[in-house]
């Protein structure tokens, strides 16, 4: 069975929202449009200070969503908005992002094993 998940990476939305509202609102508007209570918003940022993700996390909290943060460099400004902050130690974005990818793959496998045990 497919799991409902949506990556907020539609180039048309990003371009239009950036032009009309500012880049800091691209993910916030997607959360406002698609987010539902008890959904999970996954914010991935190496600095923890990306304004577009901070605004999206705030919108998610207002909707009763859970916020998981894949963060680096101490967690930054977004850390207090995260129900589950996962902070990867590291000095450079590339090393932090490499670990973020591993964490995402592990989380997906854990979810699949729990939701679809017959596959394992």
For the segment 6-23, what is each residue's pLDDT rounded down to a tens digit? 999 999 999 999 999 999
Helices 26-34 & 51-62 angle (0-180, nearest 10): 20
Residues 78 and 87: their CA atoms lie apart, in Å, by 11
Residues 6+ apart with CB under 8 A from 78: 43, 45, 48, 49, 50, 53, 54, 57, 69, 71
Residues 4 and 15: their CA atoms lie apart, in Å, by 24
22-43 average pLDDT score: 97
What's the whole-number average pLDDT of the chain? Answer: 95
Residues 80 and 55: their CA atoms lie apart, in Å, by 13
């Amino acid at each position: 069975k497919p799991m409902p998940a949506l990556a907020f990476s539609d180039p048309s939305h990003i371009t239009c929202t950036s032009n009309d509202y500012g880049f800091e609102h691209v993910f916030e508007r997607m959360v406002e449009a698609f987010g539902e209570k008890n959904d999970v918003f996954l914010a991935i940022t190496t600095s923890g200070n990306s304004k577009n993700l901070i605004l999206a996390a705030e919108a998610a909290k207002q909707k009763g969503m859970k916020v998981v943060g894949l963060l680096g460099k101490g967690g930054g400004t977004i850390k207090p908005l995260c129900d589950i902050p996962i902070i990867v130690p590291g000095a450079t974005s590339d090393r932090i992002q490499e670990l973020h990818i591993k964490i995402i793959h592990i989380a997906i496998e854990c979810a699949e094993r729990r939701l679809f045990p017959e596959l394992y």
